[in-house]
Structure 1
Amino acid sequence: MQGPAVFMDISLEDQAQELRKYFKSLGAEISEEKSPKGIEDDLHKIVGVCDICYKENNEADIEAILNSIVSIMVSIPLERGENLIVAFSQRLGKAPGPKLGFVALQSLWRLYNNLEQDSPLRYHVYYHVIELAARTGGVGEVFKNVEQLKKEFASCPPSNEQMQKLYRLLHQVLKDQNSELASKVMIELLGTYTDENASYAREDAIKCIVTALADPNSFLLDPLLSLKPVRFLEGELIHDLLTIFVSEKLSSYLQFYNNHKEFVQSQGLNHDQNIKKMRILSFMQMAESNPELTFDEITSELQIEDKDVEAFIIEVLKTRLVRARMNQAQRSVTVSSTMHRTFGRAQWQHLRDVLLLWRTNLQQAHESMSSVTAAQLEYTQQKP
């Protein structure tokens, strides 16, 4: 979707006058004459009526007109650049219907890519690009991930408040399209708050928790508890629910749901999906302490019927969170590895112990090889 601006073989002033005449012919309230104040004032007048070109039946003609405006906009120094850019972006953002919306998106994306990397105006354009992309289904073309977004604005970082506004928009756009990416965006948003203003992030923190819980591919929820805005929710039901998903078992969730059905439903969470996720999380927790699990233990702990155990294990393996092997004849599951639901001091200590054991084994192997090498050398030297 990226492309260069369109430049005509006439001066910018003459190009602006041609645009004035064109918009006048469509019925816009604009003079055909050039502004005595110069090209920037011409551009302001043109931007003020540019959306009248949506009357055209030919989308290619509309795109050509919008690109002509873009070519002037990126070719002159703008003293009042922010107002002009915002006005143009807003007018393109109101393009009616998906087809015209896509044309407007292409022109706005072209403007974004033709602005200097260190221009603070790029933020305003990008914000409206996301709005248009949400309407036309092209978000994936203009937003890949948070890391790439940061690189885009590395030369001229927007203010903290601007990034918060952009993250909220992205989360709103992505939550029904890509829940995993929406969760990452929201976590990034919460990371912009400090100890001083974390208490003002209540709504964002709740959205973050709900999005993570609803995401069928999100199982490592422990990091959310360390986010400052989430910590301000301690003692509230949403924080209690998060804690259950972080470290407790299915039975705890079922008890919570029985006591707070209306709350769970009010958050837009699906009870059946919650149960499915909690069963997987509970199985992971069982496997951490006992790599040999019987079908009877699984049916009892996870409250599923015996005939459904094999299908459940297959679902667990699909997540790639657990590596295991079923033995239908012995009605058991042998777990070779599992992701930890939480990674605290105990897990770090276990990792340290494992690494120390590996180091010891490597040292012993090295010493053994050194002994073999020395013995071989001595034997060789003793041979006549």
Structure 2
Amino acid sequence: MQTPPIFIDISPEDQALELRAYFKSLGAEITEEKSPRGIEDDLHKIIGVCDACFREGQEVEVEAVLNDIVSIMVFIPFERSENIILAFCEKLTKAPGQKLGLICLKALLLLFQSLDEQCAIRYHVYYHLILIGKQTEQVRLVFKDIETLKQQFAQCPPTSEQLQKLYRLLHEVLIASGQSEQAAKVLVELLGTYTVENASQAREDARLCIATALADPKTFLLDPLLSLKPVSFLEGQLIHDLLTIFVSENLAAYMNFYKNHKEFVMSQGLNHEKNMQKMRLLSFMQLAETNNEISFDVIQKELQISEDEVESFIIEVLKTKLVRARMNQSTRKVFITSTMHRTFGRAQWQQLRDLLHSWKANLGSVQDGMKNMATAAAAVDKNEVITYFMMKQ
């Protein structure tokens, strides 16, 4: 096994010479002489052969070498290092195997964290980090959530085209890693990158966003999708009709749609059985919005389930916490305490406003009551003091 070189307290130029000699010893096509064109050319040639150390069983060696390359790279001004960084990213995405892939992921993370936040090349490094995260099934080490992603690029936001490319990749990776909820949020962000002028170009992204949201078992508030411009351009198409059913209609409407468009539903990658289960939950939420109590017979009829399935269905609904209720088997009724709204429009905002005003008025009454009690208590204390001194005299 080759012993990796140790670079401590030496100049980037001397580090580059050591790296040249090291890769030459591995049989790479590189000379040991310093380039007359400067450190940038040295580093470019080193990166060109750095995959010579990508061998199974050499993980510690590879990590040391890649970190040394990064330590030289960050000393080069950004305006002269962009092509070098891109070449380095491309090399690392080609590392074979899980172990070497993880080492490359760590090295690229180190580079990303070392770059100035106003440096535009950070976007390209991050994009390649997601690619390696996909290959190693470790995207969680790179991507936490949309909010964190936005903060990371707050000083130098990517272009709309760059974001669209990144969000499409992220969606693909998150779906593959089982993070469907995050994947749905990424697609909504993707659609948000389109303007009124180019929203018509986002039809495929909009279709994918709708299909992903419908398939996600944890996504129930779907009406915000209807307000997105790219989605509105799909109005009149089957995918938009299907979304509208999930937003505001009931199970019967879905069953009728499926009866007439079975092949279309399947073509969108949607599972009919799972669609029915989701529509049953949404239909029950709709019933709960307008009824304080619901009989088992109504549930059985509206949700198209058998008498034996009613109680187990209600238990499943309560587990989701979409509806808070209690079930009475003797009266065969469900008593609703609260429910999440399927849509949250003007009427729901008005309802929330009225509720907050009511709370404010009640808090004002409590505060006034406390003040009156405090005043009365103070008056009693004062009288007791006067009485005490009069008795002393």
**TM-score band (shorter)?**
over 0.9
Cα displacement (A) at 1:306:
1.2
Q: Which residue number in structure 2 is paired with residue 240 of structure 1?
A: 241
Cα displacement (A) at 1:9:
3.1
Q: Which residue number in structure 1 is paired with residue 12 of structure 2?
A: 12
Q: Which residue number in structure 2 is paired with residue 129 of structure 1?
A: 129
Task: Give aligned pairs, total.
Answer: 379
1:268 aligns with 2:255: no
Q: Which residue number in structure 1 is paired with residue 316 of structure 2?
A: 315
Cα displacement (A) at 1:128:
0.4
Residues 289-333 of structure 1, C-alpha deviations (whole Å, 9 max, x = no match)? 012001111000001111111111111111111100011111110
Residues 168-197 of structure 1, C-alpha deviations (whole Å, 9 max, x = no match)? 111110023200000111111111111011
Q: TM-score, normalised by structure 1?
A: 0.93
Cα displacement (A) at 1:373:
7.1
Q: Which residue number in structure 1 is paired with residue 300 of structure 2?
A: 299
Q: Which residue number in structure 2 is paired with residue 324 of structure 1?
A: 325
1:333 aligns with 2:334: yes
Residues 230-275 of structure 1, C-alpha deviations (whole Å, 9 max, x = no match)? 1111111111111110000001111111111111101111111111
Q: Describe the shift of the 1:257–1:11 C-alpha distance in structure 2 as closer, same or farther (beyond 3 A).
A: same
**Counterparts of residues 44-83 of structure 1 (less than 5 Å):** 44-55=44-55, 57-83=57-83
Q: Describe the shift of the 1:38–1:289 C-alpha distance in structure 2 as closer, same or farther (beyond 3 A).
A: same
Q: What residue identity is the alignment partner of 1:110?
A: L
1:166 aligns with 2:173: no
Structure 2 CA distance for aligned equivalents of residues 105 and 137 of structure 1: 11
Structure 2 CA distance for aligned equivalents of residues 36 and 374 of structure 1: 89
Cα displacement (A) at 1:18:
1.7
Cα displacement (A) at 1:52:
1.7
Structure 2 CA distance for aligned equivalents of residues 69 and 168 of structure 1: 30
**Counterparts of residues 1-384 of structure 1 (less than 5 Å):** 8-55=8-55, 57-176=57-176, 177-362=178-363
Cα displacement (A) at 1:122:
1.2
Q: What residue identity is the alignment partner of 1:63?
A: E
CA RMSD of aligned residues (A): 2.2
Cα displacement (A) at 1:357:
3.7
Residues 246 and 342 in structure 1, CA contact (< 8 A), matched pair in contact too: yes
Cα displacement (A) at 1:354:
2.9
Structure 2 CA distance for aligned equivalents of residues 68 and 379 of structure 1: 80
Q: Describe the shift of the 1:91–1:372 C-alpha distance in structure 2 as closer, same or farther (beyond 3 A).
A: closer
Report SS of the residue matched to 2:71: helix
Report SS of the residue matched to 2:54: helix
Structure 1 CA distance for aligned equivalents of residues 285 and 156 of structure 2: 44
Structure 2 CA distance for aligned equivalents of residues 363 and 108 of structure 1: 57
Report SS of the residue matched to 1:293: strand
Q: Describe the shift of the 1:92–1:375 C-alpha distance in structure 2 as closer, same or farther (beyond 3 A).
A: closer
Q: Which residue number in structure 2 is paired with residue 3 of structure 1?
A: none
Q: Describe the shift of the 1:7–1:188 C-alpha distance in structure 2 as closer, same or farther (beyond 3 A).
A: farther
Structure 2 CA distance for aligned equivalents of residues 360 and 159 of structure 1: 48
Residues 175 and 211 in structure 1, CA contact (< 8 A), matched pair in contact too: no
Q: What residue identity is the alignment partner of 1:72?
A: I
Structure 1 CA distance for aligned equivalents of residues 324 and 353 of structure 2: 22
Cα displacement (A) at 1:370:
6.7
Q: What residue identity is the alignment partner of 2:313?
A: F
Q: Describe the shift of the 1:34–1:291 C-alpha distance in structure 2 as closer, same or farther (beyond 3 A).
A: same
Q: What residue identity is the alignment partner of 1:118?
A: Q
Residues 193-220 of structure 1, C-alpha deviations (whole Å, 9 max, x = no match)? 1101111111111111111111111101
Structure 1 CA distance for aligned equivalents of residues 358 and 11 of structure 2: 75
Q: Describe the shift of the 1:196–1:13 C-alpha distance in structure 2 as closer, same or farther (beyond 3 A).
A: same
Q: TM-score, normalised by structure 2?
A: 0.91
Q: What residue identity is the alignment partner of 1:165?
A: K
Report SS of the residue matched to 2:327: strand
Cα displacement (A) at 1:362:
4.7
Q: What residue identity is the alignment partner of 2:226?
A: L
Higher mean Cα deviation, 20-29 or 325-334? 20-29
Structure 2 CA distance for aligned equivalents of residues 378 and 111 of structure 1: 71
Q: Highest CA radius of gyration, 1 or 2?
A: 2
Q: Describe the shift of the 1:321–1:34 C-alpha distance in structure 2 as closer, same or farther (beyond 3 A).
A: same
Q: Describe the shift of the 1:374–1:119 C-alpha distance in structure 2 as closer, same or farther (beyond 3 A).
A: closer
Structure 2 CA distance for aligned equivalents of residues 316 and 367 of structure 1: 42
Q: Describe the shift of the 1:250–1:63 C-alpha distance in structure 2 as closer, same or farther (beyond 3 A).
A: same
Residues 130 and 142 in structure 1, CA contact (< 8 A), matched pair in contact too: yes
Structure 2: 5+ residue stretches without partners: 1-5, 388-393
